[in-house]
Structure 1
Amino acid sequence: MAEGLTERQQRWFASVRARLESDTGKSLEEWVAIARTCPETKPRARLAWMKAHHGLGQNRASYVLTEAFPSEAGWETPDVLRQALWSDVTSGKILAVVEALATPLPEVVTGQRKGYTAFSRKVQFAAIRPLKDGKAMLGLALEPHEHPLLEAPKNEPWSERLHARRPLNSPADADAELKALIEKAWERS
């Protein structure tokens, strides 16, 4: 699970695992066995079931489900996740130019998730997801009022640290102004 995670994120996963048994009275293996009895088949329904029927919080339930159903999590196959998510050529070009702005910054870790591509330093400072019609949405660890092109997020799948988003309609939108916003978000991470 280490690929695409910062050192801090790796430590967080390790701490969840280490404290699971002492905090819940059940080992990870016991929780995995319970998770595999879940009558639900979709990831969000399984998560809701673990929370409702077994009292696990969001983070612990997500971790247990990742361990119980690793092939569904995608952590081990980031290239497969990326290819499936960015199948539209035009939105893929937008991703490429955003990556060209973000990845040269020091200590940047790119992580592929099922619904978005994340950029982290110590914590996530940006994420991008494809939209219909070859467009993309970029989330940033900034406040919407910091720039006229930023807006408040609406049900975004990425980190709650990303308080602003910027629609990107074409690769040309990844300009010097966007580069400055990405750098500002990176500095805060």
Structure 2
Amino acid sequence: MATPEEQAASMIANMPEKTGKPLEDWVAIVAKSGAAKHGEIVKLLKAEHGMTHGFANLVAHKAREAADGGGETDLVASQYAGPKEALRPIYDAIADFVESLGSNAELAPKKSYVSLRRSKQFGLVQPSTRTRVDLGINLKDVAPVGRLESSGGFNAMVSHRIRLESADDVDDEVREWLRIAYENA
């Protein structure tokens, strides 16, 4: 079963054939229209352009992201803005390593964390406090030991958590745990 991200990518790839225009053109049309609310955008695209609900909904999301100043990259920037700015090098160290694992490694930013994915989620990175980033990883059948603690109440989407306070904490041990989680995904 395709992930939501894969479904959206497929719809975006098929958009020119199915709607007559690529996503960028539809986002520009929405911007020119002055429509700002999600429902307003969907209604406009369906009524005035004959778009199906699924495509109209996707364009509305992307148009609102663009109006807010971007999208995925900006989600990461906003996570590490203000008092959490000093934590960005920790995220960058993790992101660089994850991207080196293979072409199918994916960083999928959400509002408060970044999902680490392959065929399924194998981890997440979340700036949890002003002084700490939590790295959640899925390591089924691995007992918590040392810094590799049980995720407990941290996040039900991962089995373990590692608390990181500096980029130096993203060491060989952490990279090995990430590699194993990636290979098992």
Verify same fold: TM over 0.5.
yes
Q: Residue deviations 1:154-173, cap 9 Å, x none?
A: 142xx72x111111111111
**Greater CA drift, 100-109 or 175-184:** 100-109
Q: State the shift of 1:100 in Å.
A: 2.0
Q: TM-score, normalised by structure 2?
A: 0.60
Per the alignment, in what secondary structure is the counterpart of residue 145 of structure 1? Answer: coil
Percent sequence identity over aligned pairs: 18
Instruction: Return the alpha-carbon distance in structure 1 between the equivalents of residues 123 and 59 of structure 2.
Output: 29
Q: Indicate the RMSD between aligned Cα atoms, in angstroms.
A: 3.3
Corresponding residue to 1:101 among 84, 92, 97: 97
Q: Residue deviations 1:22-65, cap 9 Å, x none?
A: xxxxxxxxxxxxx96xxxxxxxxxxxxxxxxxxxxxxxxxx9xx
Amino acid at match of 2:143: H
Q: Which segments of 5 or more consecutive residues in structure 1 lack a partner in the other structure?
A: 1-6, 15-34, 37-62
Partner of 2:13 in structure 1?
Answer: none
Partner of 1:132 in structure 2?
Answer: 129
Q: Residue deviations 1:63-109, cap 9 Å, x none?
A: 9xx8698348x8x7112211111112321011011112211011101
Q: State the shift of 1:132 in Å.
A: 2.0
8 Å contact kept, 2:113–2:127:
yes
Q: TM-score, normalised by structure 1?
A: 0.59
Write the mapping of 1:160-179 to structure 2, written as runs, cut at 5 A. 160=157, 162-179=158-175
Write the mapping of 1:14-163 to structure 2, written as runs, cut at 5 A. 70=61, 71=64, 77-87=71-81, 88-106=84-102, 107-143=104-140, 145-153=143-151, 154-156=153-155, 160=157, 162-163=158-159
Partner of 1:183 in structure 2?
Answer: 179
Amino acid at match of 1:148: G
Per the alignment, in what secondary structure is the counterpart of residue 134 of structure 1? Answer: coil
User: CA 1:97–1:186 in 2, change beyond 3 Å: closer, same or farther?
Assistant: same
User: CA 1:100–1:13 in 2, change beyond 3 Å: closer, same or farther?
Assistant: closer
Q: State the shift of 1:13 in Å.
A: 6.5
8 Å contact kept, 1:94–1:135:
no
Partner of 1:47 in structure 2?
Answer: none
Higher relative contact order (CA 8 A, sep 6+): 1
Q: Which segments of 5 or more consecutive residues in structure 2 lack a partner in the other structure?
A: 10-37, 40-53
8 Å contact kept, 1:97–1:174:
yes
Amino acid at match of 1:112: P
Q: State the shift of 1:131 in Å.
A: 2.4
Q: State the shift of 1:11 in Å.
A: 5.0
Question: Size of the alignment, in residue pairs?
Answer: 134
Instruction: Return the alpha-carbon distance in structure 2 between the equivalents of residues 10 and 131 of structure 1.
Output: 24
8 Å contact kept, 2:144–2:160:
no
Per the alignment, in what secondary structure is the counterpart of residue 132 of structure 1? Answer: coil
